Every structure is written in C-alpha cells, then in structure tokens.
Amino acid sequence: MKALVTGGGGFLGRVIIRQLRERGDEVRSLSRGRYPDLEKDGVECVQADLMDVAAVSKACEGVDVVFHVAGKVGLWGDYSDFLRANVEGTRNVLNACQDRGARRLVFTGSPSVVFDGRDVEGWDESAPYPERFDSYYSRTKAAAEEMVLSANGLRGLSTISLRPHLVWGPGDTSIAPRVIARAKAGKLRRIGGLNKKVDITYVDDAARAHLLAAARLEVSPSVAGKAYFLSQGDPRPLWEVVNGILAAAGLPPVERSVSLWAARAAAAGLELSYRALRRRDEPPLTRFLVTQLSTAHWFDISAARRDLGYEPSVPFEEGLKRYARWFKCQALKD
C-alpha cells in the first residue's frame, strides 16, 4: 500500500516508516524539517507545516492510509501553539484525507486525555475525558481525538485512535533524554517516598500497533471510530523504570527525595515566575510533572489485544539492553 506518515522525521514516525518500508510499502513523509536519510532510504519527503493546507492536501493525494503522528508534545508552552499543532493541524489532515480520497486514518493519541490527577490503575477505554485537564497537551489531544473519531464514516474515511503510554527506546527525544539530563544535573528527586506503578511502551511495539490498526481498519469495520490504549502490559514501580533507564545510560539510581507538598509548592512557584517573565522554555518542575511522578498510571490493554491482535514483543529488560547499546553508540559518535 501507499502510506503517508505525518511527523515522519520524529521518534515514533521514523519507526513506523521503517516498519512500512521493511514490508515493502511505499511511504511518503510530511515533516517540518528536511531528512536526507529518509530520502536516501526511498521515502518521498514533503517538507511542510501542518498549517499549510495546500501542502497537507497534496501530501494526502494518492495514499491508501494516513498515519497522523505529528503534533506538539510537552508539559509547558503557550496554549495557542498546542492548539495549532494538535487541533487545527489534525483538522487539516482530516479534511485532506476526505478531499483526496484517503480511506483510512490512524491517529496517534495519548492516554493523558483521560488523566484527572487521580491514580489510574487498570482503566480501560470506557474512562471518560475529565472535566478539567492538567495540561494544554492533554486538552488539545483530547479535542483532536474527538474530532478524529467523529469523522469516522464521513466521506468514506475510517478512523481509529491509538493511545500509546510513554513511548521510549533508541532514538527517544523526550522521555529518556529528559530523565537523563535531570539526573546529570542533580535535579531528579523521588516525590514523597512514593513509588507507584506505571506502564510504558517500547517504540517498536507502538509502531507495530499502528500497522496492525491500519490493517484491521481495512477488514474489520468494528474497530473504526474507537480508541485503544497501548503499553507493554507490565506495570512496574516508577523508580524501577526510571533507575533502569539511568543504569542503561551509565548513571546511578535516584535516591534523594523531596516531600510531596514541597514539590507542589516549588512547581507552582516556578510556573508563576516563568509566566511572569514570559519565558518560553520549560521550568525544571511543573505541577503536571509532580502529579505524574506521584500517581499510578497504567491501563488495561485487553481491547487492543482482542481487536487489533496487538501483543507487546519487547520486554522491559530487553528494551533496556537495546537502549544501552544505542546510548553507547551515540556517546562514541559525540
């Protein structure tokens, strides 16, 4: 088939492209940057922003399926930036799919769309969106997901949303690098002695789930218009996960801690000062991050197993070995 991957130059987008190419599919990538390595691998690259309606429309021409991975990720920033990238950009992709005759759209959503600040332990897809979101990212991803699922069946388009939780692995540009950077700077602390369970998703498994979803959309209408949680299906104590990643990077475990009330107070103060100074960079601590580090968040993935045939194939320990090898190679390059 011929596929379009938005955000093809990003972490997850690259692995989706690799897996599509490995099975012989024709791939087009839409990204803001230029990626000669993708071009060298035979990927047709379109350099454009999601707000460029004409470019997005042209990129969707002649494709069978669109993997809409692109979006703005982060714990901090202007609401308008998240709105443009995650909501308006998704609207442009949906319109382009319908105008150009693309039949299937696989949307990369986020489990954070159901997070309300409480412990999330084994929630399934029946969990509703909260009345109040803790971050602009969650709020705009929920709005985009609603739009995607509501578009299912309109003008011949079938849609599905996948919610991979904490995608990580070699090439990670978000989770592991942040953890490693803060640990190196001595700014990583346990919160209140808490060590609740979380679940993560190895990038190869997350990418494979996207291909499975596209295939199921073609043969099983029952999955269309639905959202699915993804993870390894192996909840572990948070600091076991964090310290495992640090060990893979050759760093010692985090042992120092700060009380929950002190972390919340520090985060609120930092957010206030950053807004007052109109700083665009992310504070070293935010209230959303404190909540993430002090609550459980793992999901029931039985629906993805049942409906999509999804089964995690890279255990956490194997993922750590792969990440350690990759990290060592990157260090040698630097």
- Divide the 334 residues of the chain into consecutive groups of 10 and give the mean pLDDT of each group: 96 97 96 94 95 96 97 89 97 96 96 93 96 91 98 95 96 90 89 91 98 94 96 96 95 92 92 88 86 93 98 96 92 72
Give CATH for domain 2-169+201-231+298-313.
3.40.50.720
The pLDDT assigned to 281 comes to 84
DSSP-derived letter for residue 25 is -
Q: What 3-state class would DSSP assign to 250?
A: coil
Least Cα distance to 114 among 100, 105, 106, 124 occurs for 124
Cα 38 from Cα 18, distance rounded (Å): 9
Would you give the DSSP letter of residue 128? P
Q: Hey, which residues are catalytic here?
A: 137
The reported pLDDT for the residue numbered 334 is 65
Sign of CA dihedral 92, 94, 97, 100: negative
188-219: buried (b, 16+ CB within 10 Å) or exposed (e) per residue? bbbbbeebbbbbbbbbbbbbbbbbbbbbbbee
- 114 contacts: CB under 8 Å, gap ≥ 6: 120, 123, 127, 128, 129, 130
- The angle subtended at Cα 305 by Cα 300 and Cα 307, nearest 5°, is 110
For the chain, first and last CA: distance in Å?
38
Cβ–Cβ under 8 Å, residues 1 and 64: yes
Output the pLDDT for position 174: 86
Q: What is the pLDDT of residue 90?
A: 98
Q: Which helix (H) or strand (E) holds 135?
A: none
Q: How far apart are CA 54 and CA 66, in angstroms?
A: 16
Whether 115 contacts 138, CB under 8 Å = yes
Alpha carbon distance 200, 298 (integer Å) = 8
Q: What is the pLDDT of residue 80?
A: 94
Q: pLDDT value at position 120?
A: 95
User: Could you state, in order of their start, the residue ranges of all structural domains in the chain?
Assistant: 2-169+201-231+298-313
**Structural Rg of the chain based on CA atoms:** 20
Reported residue count of the chain is 334
Rounded to whole angstroms, how far apart are CA atoms 333 and 26? Answer: 31
- Is residue 4 within 8 Å of residue 30, measured between CB atoms? yes
Q: Which residues are CB-contacts of 103 (< 8 A; sequence separation ≥ 6)?
A: 64, 65, 156, 157, 158, 218
| Total-model pTM | 0.95
What pLDDT was estimated at residue 252?
95
